Amino acid sequence: MDPIEGTNLRVTDVLKYLLYFVIYLIVKMLKINVFIRLFYNRIVLFVVPFSYLFICRFGDCHTVLSAFSRRYYDLINPYRGMVVIDIGAHIGTFAIRYGKKLRSSGIVIAIEPEPSNYELLKLNLRLNKLYNVYALPIACSSYTGKTVLYLHGFTGHSLVYRSDRYVYVQQYTLDDLYRALSRVLKVRKIDLIKINAEGAEVNILLGAQQALIYTRALVIAAHHDPDQPALVSKILESKGFHCRIIYRKGNTLVLAISKA
Mean pLDDT for each consecutive 10-residue tract of the chain (260 residues)?
53 91 92 85 91 92 89 92 97 95 94 93 94 96 94 71 88 98 96 94 96 98 92 97 91 94
What pTM did the predictor assign? Answer: 0.92
CA distance 115 to 120: 9
pLDDT score recorded for residue 32: 85
pLDDT score recorded for residue 5: 47
**Type of residue at 25:** L
pLDDT score recorded for residue 153: 65
pLDDT score recorded for residue 156: 65
CA distance 78 to 82: 7
pLDDT score recorded for residue 161: 75
DSSP labels for 165-196?
EEEEEEEE-HHHHHHHHHHHS----BSEEEE-
Element (H, E) at 258: strand 251-258
pLDDT score recorded for residue 88: 95
Longest dimension (CA), the chain: 56
